């Protein structure tokens, strides 16, 4: 019987360690998404700034790209925090701490949406508004992609 208890505790320790590794991997993924979003957005902005003639709306498109990377990274960080708290530290203090983190990150997400779209996340989109993000960039790309009128 003691051998079974020892094997069971060893299995539990292995599962907890695996959960810790997974949550850290998710956090690293979130950080990578934010960094890649910043780097790619900045490279795209520089390329469009150096174009002759410069592409209009490039700063708005740059801000939108950065916002999207930050939003996605924040969402994934919240997922990592939930996994870590629920699986590894299901104490009242850890859950309260998680709740505070989720509130702060939710507020950050809302302010980023307001910055990008000019509306609160719970407000409906205007008529004809599809998926948000990069309206100026998409308009510029659409103009370039369409052949000149005959």
Which two structure tokens, joined as six digits, stand for 4? 């079974």
Per-residue pLDDT reduced to its tens digit, 49-66? 887 787 788 888 888 889
Range among 15-24, 107-116, 128-137 with highest mean pLDDT value: 15-24
Structure-model confidence comparison of residues 129 and 77, the more confident one: 77
pTM of the shown model: 0.66
Cα(136)–Cα(143) distance, rounded to whole angstroms?
Answer: 11
The mean per-residue pLDDT over the stretch 39-48 comes to 91
Name the band, by pLDDT with cuts 50, 70 and 90, for residue 85. confident
pLDDT (0 to 100) of residue 123: 77
Sorted by where each begins, the domain ranges of the chain are 2-120
Q: Quick one: pLDDT band at residue 5, thresholds 50, 70, 90? A: low
Predicted pLDDT of residue 88:
81
**Residues 117, 20: Cα–Cα separation, whole Å:** 36
What per-residue confidence (pLDDT) applies to 43?
A: 93
Residue 143: pLDDT over 80: no
- pLDDT score for 27: 94
């Amino acid at each position: 019987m003691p051998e079974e208890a020892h094997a069971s505790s060893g299995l539990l320790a292995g599962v907890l360690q695996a959960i810790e590794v997974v949550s850290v991997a998710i956090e690293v993924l979130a950080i990578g998404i934010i960094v890649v979003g910043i780097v790619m957005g900045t490279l795209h902005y520089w390329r469009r700034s150096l174009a002759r003639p410069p592409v209009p709306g490039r700063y708005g498109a740059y801000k939108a790209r950065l916002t999207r990377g930050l939003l996605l990274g924040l969402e994934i960080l919240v997922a990592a925090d939930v996994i870590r708290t629920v699986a590894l530290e299901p104490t009242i203090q850890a859950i309260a701490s998680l709740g505070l983190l989720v509130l702060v990150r939710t507020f950050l997400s809302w302010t980023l949406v307001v910055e990008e779209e000019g509306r609160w996340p719970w407000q409906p989109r205007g008529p004809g508004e599809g998926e948000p993000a990069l309206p100026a960039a998409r308009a510029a790309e659409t103009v370039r992609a369409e052949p000149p009128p005959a």
